[in-house]
Amino acid sequence: MIESALAALASLADPSLLLMLVAGVVAGLVMGLIPGLGGTGAVAILLPVTFGMDPSSALALLIGALAVVHTSDTVAAVLLGAPGSASASVTMLDGYAMAKKGQAARALSLAFLSSMAGGILGAVGLTLAIPLARPLVLSFGAPELFMLTILGVSLAAVLSRGNVAKGLTAGLLGLTLGMVGTSPTTAEQRFTGGSLFLGDGLSLVAVALGIFGLAEIASRVGQRNKPGEEVKLGGGWFAGIKEWLAHWTQVLRGALIGIWAGVLPGVGATAGTWLAYGQVVATAKDKTKFGKGDPRGIVGPESANNSVEAGDLIPTLLFGIPGGVPSAMLLGMLLTYGIQPGPAIVTDHLDLVYLIVWSFAIASILGALLCFISTPGLAKITKVPFSILGPGLVVVMFLGAVQESGQLGDLAVMLALGVFGWLLKETGFPRPPFLIGFVLAIPLERYYFLTEAVYAPSEWLTRPWVLVFLAVLVVPAVMAVVRRVRARRHTDVDDAHHEPPGEEEGELTGSIWSLAGAAGSLVVFLSGFVVASSYSPDARLVPRLLCAGGVVVAGWLLATEIRDRVRSGAGVRWTPDVGVALRTFGWMAGFLVLVAVGGYLAAMLIWVPAFLLFVSRTRARTVITYTLAASVLVAALPLLLPVDLPVGLLMNL
């Protein structure tokens, strides 16, 4: 192991590899400032760039970005009171209060150093997990790996904040979508409708960027930036550094909480930072200063949000079970390179594991250093309204999605999934279980058939670790049901059916749209069950099992939604933001039509200025500058990176 760790460190001396790491750090810092992107957007946008790279360079680029997104998302939270991500909202409580007192630099220095320490401690935790978990991982066979895939999707659904039934439904929908394409056991085409385009399955990049990227853009384009009182940086950088050293115990505790939150599927950085903030408040003797500029309210959460991402890599690499969306995409990237996380990666690719560890630690240090140097410049990005950032992000995301296959059909799939992801978000369905299910669909099926081929049911179901995983699977579900029953007993009759607001709570939650989502999910599962019946026995077994489970869960959810509608009498809810989102998707569809007709660059020259003028209501000079800069950048990409610009029908005449 020591040899592999030293070899991985030595490989980072390669200028090309180090350049990829630095590029990832810079990209991650910029994306961390843009609301709604975070680690998910950073990995999804950079993932297409890795096509054609060797695994080491690809990992250095992605890990560099993932390690620092939570370092820079603090800038807007402290200076503007408008956090760049949900997890940064915790830091905003005390950071923005401190900034309004003229101590913004002090707050930012506390945040940057804590994020750096959290990333380093997270990398240390990942390092320690390798020798401790390696004997366990090597003892796993197909039954244990099969149970782990089920566990990953189920825990992501059950532990997601909000309605458990919606989480399970989302996870099963992701698994079902992952079955589209060629069966890994019989080479039959499933759920393709005879389309050759769908024969290879759906692109992970298109799915991730649609469900999260386009959906987030549609949700935010209509939101005008209305930050609180703008503050200046001022002085206090060194005062913050000195104060940070005095709170080293909070840094350590926050990082440990973050690592634990990362290991648990579906918890994520937001919950991890709130857990860290909660323990800081709970253990403080004087609680009166929290929310008013207490440095402890910055140190604890900021050390947790970076260590969460490192902790998330522990189950992803060692067990093949992603705990969150960025790690799910990272897992998908590894699978495309033929690298199977789990027993295979700790025996055949241990050097790559240690490359990830070193990259995470170095990126955390480099990210904090760059933030100290460039905060005044970075802060300007946070003042740009999202309606102006939106068209540029759309162009980048669509360009990334088409790189894997080179087919414009991926863009249509991405747009359709963007609408679907927006509906999931707005109706309270958690999206992480959906993407985790999509990534784990094929591994789940492979491990199931390996298990069935080698073991009798009575043999593999009684294996010790299988029983442990079954217990881990059942206990959270039972506890969730118990909590729900207790909540009903201790609340008023009118409010008994409402769950506490979750991270994915949307404007349409509790409306007729939520009921329609449950009904639509039931229709999808019923249709999938019927269509799968025409396949061969081996090809239809897992899809039918998934669809049967989906029918049960979606039926339960539909019955709950109908009961809630009867009690509340809620009707169709249509807000201005809903109209803006749907019009934004219409504009995106128009962009795809232009791409198909005239090619990518020509479509961009028409669409971007039109969007800025008629949707963003931007000044003409800004429109011209924005369009020219974006066009030059896109035109230069094929010269700098392995990127191909789609050619339209007119160019082929």
Q: Are 218 and 422 in contact (CB under 8 A)?
A: yes
- Nearest Cα residue to 12 out of 51, 68, 47, 61: 61
Question: Between vectors from CA 162 to CA 161 and to CA 163, what angle results, nearest 5°?
Answer: 135
Determine the pLDDT at residue 35. 64
Q: Which two tokens stand for residue 50?
A: 């890795």
Q: What are 321-370's pLDDT values in tens digits? A: 786 778 888 888 888 888 888 777 878 888 888 888 888 889 989 988 88
Taking residue 507's Cβ as centre, other Cβ atoms within 10 Å add up to 18
Q: What is the pLDDT of residue 502?
A: 40
pLDDT tens digits for range 146-204: 888 888 788 777 766 567 889 899 999 999 999 999 888 888 899 988 888 888 888 88
pLDDT in tens, 416-428: 999 999 999 888 8
Instruction: Inform me whether the pLDDT recorded for 591 exceeds 90.
Output: yes
Tell me the per-residue pLDDT of 461-507, one tens digit each, with 9 for 90 and over: 889 888 988 887 787 667 766 766 776 665 444 433 333 334 445 67
43 with 330: CB under 8 angstroms?
yes
Residue 24 backbone zone (phi > 0: left; psi -120 to 50: alpha; other: beta) = alpha
Residues 6+ apart with CB under 8 A from 232: 102, 104
Percent of the chain with pLDDT over 90: 17
pLDDT for 266 equals 56
Residue 142, CA distances (Å) to 60, 146, 154, 441, 479 in order: 30, 6, 18, 15, 28
| Distance between CA atoms of residues 486 and 483, nearest Å | 5
* Cα–Cα nearest to 477, from 556, 398, 412, 411: 556
Whole-number Å distance between alpha carbons of 142 and 462 = 14
Cβ proximity of 85 and 70 under 8 Å: yes
**Three-point CA angle 282, 284, 287, nearest 5°:** 90
State the pLDDT at residue 226: 47
| CA 153 and chain centroid, separation | 14
Element (H, E) at 466: helix 464-489
Whether 230 shows a pLDDT value over 70: the answer reads: no
- At 487 the pLDDT is 64
- Per-residue pLDDT at 224 exceeds 70: no
Compute the average pLDDT of residues 544-573: 82
Measured distance CA(40)–CA(329) in Å, rounded: 8
The mean pLDDT value for 304-310 works out to 83
What pLDDT sits at residue 506? Answer: 65
- Indicate if the pLDDT at residue 514 is higher than 90: no
Instruction: Compute the radius of gyration of the chain from its Cα atoms.
Output: 24
C-alpha pair distances (Å), 502 with each of 137, 362, 426, 521 = 34, 34, 12, 20
Cβ atoms of 71 and 363 closer than 8 Å: no
- Report percent pLDDT > 70 for the chain: 86
The tokens 């648990």 sit on which residue?
A: 264
Q: What is the DSSP string of 530-593?
A: HHHTTS-HHHHHHHHHHHHHHHHHHHHHHHHHHHHHHHH-------HHHHHHHHHHHHHHHHHH
Q: How many Cβ atoms sit within 10 Å of the Cβ of residue 548? A: 16
- 387-431: pLDDT as tens digits: 888 898 888 888 888 877 778 888 999 999 999 999 998 888 888
Predicted pLDDT of residue 585: 94
Mean pLDDT of 268-290: 75
Q: Give the model confidence (pLDDT) of 81-136 as tens digits.
A: 666 566 677 787 888 788 888 888 888 888 889 988 888 998 888 888 878 877 87
413 by Cβ neighbours in 10 Å (0-12 / 13-18 / 19+) ranks as: buried
CA 30, 34, 38 angle in degrees (round to 5)?
A: 80
The answer to whether 170 and 157 are in contact (CB under 8 A) is: yes
Share the mean pLDDT of the chain: 81
Task: Give me the pLDDT at residue 625, please.
Answer: 93
- The pLDDT value given to residue 604: 93
Which token pair is 178? 């992952």
For residues 276 and 283, give the distance between their C-alpha atoms in angstroms, rounded to a whole number: 11
Q: Are 240 and 105 in contact (CB under 8 A)?
A: yes
Domain residue limits, the chain: 2-140+234-383, 509-572, 577-652
In tens, the pLDDT along 17-76 reads 889 999 999 888 888 777 666 677 778 888 877 877 888 888 899 998 888 887 877 887
| Range from 222-236, 237-251, 253-267 carrying the lowest mean pLDDT | 222-236
**Contact partners, residue 42, CB within 8 Å, separation at least 6:** 27, 28, 31, 32, 65, 66, 69, 326
